[in-house]
Amino acid sequence: MRARWSSRLAFIMAATGAAVGLGNIWKFPYMAGENGGGAFVFLYLIFVALIGVPALIAEIMIGRLGRDTPVKALQKLSAQAKASPKWRYLGWWGGLGLVLVLSFYSVIGGFSIGYLTELGFHGLDHFGSVAAVHLFFDAFLANPFNLLTWHTLFMIFTLSVIAFGVRSGLERASNILMPGLFFILFILMIYSIYVGDPAAAINFLLKPQLCDVTAAAALNALGHAFFTLAIGAGAMLVYGAYLPQQTRIGSSICIIAFLDVLVAIFSGLAIFSIVFAYELPVAGGPGLMFKVLPVAFVHMPSGALFGALFFILLLFAAWTSSISMAEPLVVLVMDRFCLKRKVACALIGLLCWILGVLASLSFNVWKDVRIFGHFSVFDAMADLTTNIILPIGGLCFVLFAGWVLKYTDTEYRLISHHPLGYELWRFLVRFIAPVGILLSFVFNLL
């Protein structure tokens, strides 16, 4: 791969674009709500610091050293290290994860388009009271035609960016829009704190109760750490392949992880301040954000405009993430089946669209269909990828970077200028991360 980011800043912006998305604003609050609040946040922060950051450095490093698609980079590096060529299957495993993530991501990205059009055409007319907001959301979900339209639009947006190569334009736009999202989210948080119950929100999110620390909460927190940092699927590997020769990786990743966590905390505080003030249920499931934020918009001056702006920026954040999922898939398929870019885009788009249709229908027509007697199709897709596929992918990446690869002097300086920084990373990647991931699985099985 010849392409390179123009600077370290360009890399940080792009990788933050991939990391910050629906995972932070939509998924984090509802996962926290369903998994004991503070206990989940506490575990999530520990997992980000001790497993997520080292694993992300590992994945980026593999991309930087292999400079190719995930499959080929792993093939090349394992040949150099005289290790089994089977490591290349990790690239396909990541591809499977990306297909599933992109499919359900597009459905929720579609929800944002739906809310944006609602705010655009009807303002806050249908959000007059908490009950009205809930009614609106239930009616929104109940209409399969609605959900399919928005899902289809989101998928077309994502794939056309990749098919027609207007990426650089989008990247330039996201350099303005990402800071915009931070700003709007910050205002939203301040406003929610002002009209809501921030003390209860802080108490819920930041004070862990030991009894809430369950095996399930731990696995959810681990999975979410991987999801939000986009680890374990090869998406970040591809971003690493475009790194300029001498970019310092370790410190760049710390900045990205910090921003990623910050957005999630902002969003959590905004949402739960409202939840507690209006006595809404904390475990609101995937609909939480959509049922809570309109309540805040209604009480704001120019709330409809603010709400519309929020959804526009959220859409862009979702878009930059979904592009980071689709791009590796498209190059993987182009490379393996010798296809043209547009054909590969169409195939990937069709596959993810079909899976997304199944996920959309599980909110209405197939509401009662349960997989393993428990999960709806949407939940099964979201949980399977987040809690199983990404952590297993991440586990393999850390094992590969920690045990298979050998580093030259100049290479380890890419991870950290300080020998201690490198040693710390190596220790985390070789021991702490693999053991942590395995323990989370084992406790859950027990």
| Closest residue to ligand PHE using C-beta atoms | 23
Closest CA to 370 of 378, 437, 150: 378
User: What one-character-per-residue DSSP string does 110-140 give?
Assistant: HHHHHHHHHHHHHTTGGGSSHHHHHHHHHHH
Report if residue 21 touches ligand PHE, rule: CB under 6 A: yes
Closest to ligand PHE by CB, 106 vs 247, is 106
Find the shortest distance in angstroms from Cβ 401 to ligand PHE.
18
Whether 63 contacts 243, CB under 8 Å? yes
Please tell me the chain's helix, strand, coil percentages from 3-state DSSP, rounded to the nearest 5: 80, 0, 20
Q: Give the count of beta carbons closer than 10 Å to the beta carbon of residue 78.
A: 20
- Pick between residue 386 and residue 416 the one whose CB is nearest to ligand PHE: 386
In the complex with ligand PHE, the residue whose CB is nearer, 205 or 230, is 230
Pairwise CA distance, residues 414 & 64, whole Å: 10
Residues 6 or more apart whose CB falls under 8 angstroms from that of 278 comprise 130, 196, 295
Which range of residues in 15-23, 210-218, 240-248, 274-282 is near ligand PHE by CB under 6 A? 15-23
x-marked contacts with ligand PHE along 91-120 as a string, rule CB under 6 A: ----------x-------------------
Q: Note whether 9 and 252 are within 8 A (CB).
A: no
- 263 touches ligand PHE by CB under 6 A: no
**Candidate segments 18-26, 38-46, 203-211, 343-351, binder of ligand PHE by CB under 6 A:** 18-26
Q: Candidates 66-74, 222-230, 247-255, 286-294: pick the segment binding ligand PHE (CB under 6 A).
A: 222-230
Supply 149's token pair: 């339209």
Q: Which of 32, 107, 233, 288 binds ligand PHE (CB under 6 A)?
A: 233
Alpha-carbon distance 175 to 5, whole Å? 14
**Considering only residues 12, 16, 24, 52, which one is a binding residue for ligand PHE as defined by CB under 6 A?**
24
Choices 224-232, 295-303, 340-348, 402-410; region in contact with ligand PHE by CB under 6 A: 224-232
> What residues does 371 pair with on adjacent strands?
375
Nearer to ligand PHE, 320 or 440 (CB): 320
Residue of 161, 115, 116 lying closest to 140 (CA atoms): 115
Contacting residue, 14, 22, 100, 280, with ligand PHE by CB under 6 A: 22
Q: Which residue of 5, 12, 15, 23 would you call a contact of ligand PHE, by CB under 6 A? A: 23
Subset of 322-341 contacting ligand PHE (CB under 6 A):
324-325
* Nearest to ligand PHE of 75, 386 (CB atom): 386
Per CB under 6 A, which region of 13-21, 145-153, 158-166, 421-429 contacts ligand PHE? 13-21
- Position 237 contacts ligand PHE (CB under 6 A): no
The beta-strand segments (E) located in 160-236 are: none
> Distance (Å, rounded) from C-alpha 211 to C-alpha 120?
44
Is 220 or 324 the residue whose CB approaches ligand PHE more closely?
324
What is the spatial distance between Cα 103 and Cα 351, in angstroms, rounded to a whole number?
8
Give CA–CA dist 402/235, Å, rounded.
19
User: 27 or 67, CB closer to ligand PHE?
Assistant: 27
CB 234 within 8 A of CB 61: no
Least separation in angstroms between residue 98's CB and ligand PHE is: 6
Binding residues vs ligand PHE (CB under 6 A): 18-19, 21-24, 101, 227-228, 230, 233, 235, 321, 324-325
